[in-house]
Amino acid sequence: MNSDEIKKKAQEINQEIVEWRRYLHQHPETGFDLPVTETYLKERLQELGVEIKKNYGGSGFAAVIQGEQESPEKKTIAIRTDMDALNLQESSSRDYASQHDGKMHGCGHDAHMAMALGAAGLLQEYRSSFSGQVKFIFQPAEEIGEGAEAMLKEGVFTDEPEVDAIIGTHIGSIWSLPSGQVGYRKGPLMAAADKINIRIRGKGGHGAKPQETVDALVVGAEVVSSLQNVVSRRIDPLDSAVVSIGEFRAGSAFNIIAEEAELSGTVRSLSSETREQLPEFIEDVIEGVCLEMGADYEFEYTYGPPVLENDADFTELFIETAGKMLGEENVVEISQPTMGGEDMAFFLQEVPGTFFGLGSVNPEKGTDAPHHNPEFDVDEDVFWIGAALFTAVALKWLAG
């Protein structure tokens, strides 16, 4: 494997990767049902000569490149990309802006797919030089944290060829990396992302006679306030956790005291031990407030993606490969994990691998907006880096 040769080939196809990305950006789809995205990806893979396997998790699917070298032990590395967009109205005036009102690739998944296609093209060229397989996993429903788990349950790792390692990337400003740099971190990189739903039942009545009621809205407000004590008083200060209520629904009219209130929020953590404790801590608060104020409650805790942990040995292989290709000064350690979640974590629970950041922050090009923002965009000049690193890391790992 020649790092300079892979770099040169990837740079030569960067414009093609841009074109793929722009089409995908114009046609965003959400959740598990992504028919236009799925069809487009499969057509491009067929043009590249890549074998498409079965679907998993709705529009998700796998594709495989078989190495032509003989070896007694044929291993498989997976390259994973997410496919879905956000329910978000794009504010960009660019000519490749979303053509679907209320939907936008505001998190870089369009670029991830295009870079994976680029890697597929490169690895097809190199298939005579390696043994084993490269399995491309095109995954839906990342934004709702359900796609990876659904694909695993349907056998995407255990169906032939079985997956032994995995790599993926996230482009954009999430780690504030400037364009052209890549970031890595051994161990925890992104938080577990869970969801809570709370229903409070009080006693409604006339706004002029509060003494005859149990105001569910007031109870809910007290719950929101008291939940902040979970992190500040029950979690080790040296650990990390977040409890945030994002939705609060109560009341039907200005002069009616609410009988019910519904709250929902997100819970983030960076250790499995803390994650196991949080449901009990949160319910203790809800129960205490409701008991004191005379209300009843229902509490639901839904587990989402776990903590995303990068394998130390595989990440070291990535660091070495990226350093040779980009220069060591452009391969930087991500010093602190983010409390953002990512369901790539489900895959990394099963096999060793790494999830790296690809820098895309360039204020002069207008690519410094945060993720999930109507003005989000990425620097298209760095796409070759993702394709090249997918290719080079896969070849190096397969070579043992």
Q: Report the CATH number at residue 42.
A: 3.40.630.10
CATH number of the domain that residue 237 is part of: 3.30.70.360
What domain range includes position 261? 192-302
280 and 352 together in one domain:
no
Mean pLDDT of 180-187: 98
Q: What is the pLDDT of residues 2-20, one digit of tens each?
A: 899 999 999 999 999 999 9
Largest CA distance in the chain: 83
Q: How confident is the model at residue 327 (pLDDT cuts 50, 70, 90)?
A: very high
Q: What is the pLDDT of residues 28-47, one digit of tens each?
A: 999 999 999 999 999 999 99
10 and 78 together in one domain:
yes
State residue 74's pLDDT score: 87
Q: From the CB of residue 370, how many other CB atoms can be counted at a distance below 10 Å?
A: 12
Beta pairing class for 205-206 and 296-302:
unpaired
**Catalytic residue numbers?**
84, 142
pTM: 0.94
Alpha helices, DSSP H, located in 106-257: 109-125, 147-153, 216-234
Residue at a domain's end among 287, 302, 317: 302
Residue at a domain's end among 284, 302, 320: 302
7 and 142 together in one domain:
yes
CB neighbour list of residue 35: distance below 8 Å, 6 or more residues apart: 29, 59
162 and 47 together in one domain:
yes
44 and 17 together in one domain:
yes
Please check the confidence at residue 166 and state whether its pLDDT lies above 80: yes
36 and 94 together in one domain:
yes
Please check the confidence at residue 1 and state whether its pLDDT lies above 80: no
247 and 343 together in one domain:
no
Residue at a domain's end among 302, 320, 349: 302
- What is the SS3 assignment for 315? helix
176 and 315 together in one domain:
yes
Distance of CA 156 to the CA centre of its chain: 18
201 and 250 together in one domain:
yes
- In the chain, the number of structural domains is 2
157 and 201 together in one domain:
no
Find the angle CA(376)-CA(139)-CA(388) to the nearest 5 degrees. Answer: 70
239 and 350 together in one domain:
no
**Could you check whether the bond before residue 337 is cis, i.e. omega within 30 degrees of 0?**
no
Say if residues 32 and 142 touch (Cβ distance below 8 Å). Answer: no
- What is the SS3 assignment for 366? coil
168 and 236 together in one domain:
no
What φ, ψ does residue 19 adopt, rounded to 5°? -65, -40
